[in-house]
Amino acid sequence: MSLIKALPFMTYSVLHGSLAYKQQIIIFSGQNYSPAIAIPFLMVACGGLLDNVRLAMGALRGPGGASLQLADLCFFLHYVIVPLTFTSLAYIAVGMLQGYDWLMTGSYLLTAAFVVHGLVTYHGKVAGNYALSLEGGIAKWTLDRSKVKVTFDMILPVMLIGLFGVIVGAIGWWQRGWAWLFYLQLAGFLGQAMVPSLKTGGMYLSNFLEVVFLASMMATQI
């Protein structure tokens, strides 16, 4: 049973690794690319690779050992690195539009705000505001509501990234005829919206849609 639980995460790890590998080929091959898309994308894809390795190890071997150590690293990656996706999405949109450079300014402000929030949240974890819990036998850090009453968790930046992705997908459909970009971004957004109600099963859907989300962004560079 543990192998069956781990297999999706192992698959997602390979897919994230493939996306990261393709991105570094684009970066180092001298192709025409934008660092504003490529560098954040590469960091997020590598973070997704590590996160799914952690989940696979937790499903196979339990919550201790290296899985627990990776849980600490992935907590940081989720809260501090994932918001960089705003910048990549904005640059994709600006590349398809004329006179919308303000999108980049907005993305920089959103990225900075959520990175600062992520650093504050990580400091809160170090200060003991998060407790180790198990979800489907896999270790994760959960906000201790008895210590912290008012906060917004990772779901808000994730939802805003998803909504921004839908807007960028609509721009792609309007300007380039990329209906596929809109529908894939919409699927990612709706999937993330449903994840909190799915409990353990939400990890499988969420991590699958992360791959879909990143793959559709990669396709805009090819």
pLDDT digits (tens, 9 = 90+) for 155-207: 677 778 888 888 888 988 998 899 999 999 998 888 776 665 555 566 778 88
What is the extent of the structural domain holding 91? 2-219
CATH label of the domain that carries residue 117 = 1.20.1070.10
Predicted confidence at residue 132, as pLDDT, reads 66
Is residue 222 classed exposed, middle or buried when 0-12, 13-18 and 19+ CB atoms within 10 A define those classes?
exposed
pLDDT digits (tens, 9 = 90+) for 106-130: 778 878 888 887 787 777 766 677 7
Predicted confidence at residue 85, as pLDDT, reads 81
State how far the Cα of 167 lies from the Cα of 154, in Å rounded to an integer.
20
Instruction: Give me the number of domains the chain comprises.
Output: 1
State how far the Cα of 212 lies from the Cα of 100, in Å rounded to an integer.
26
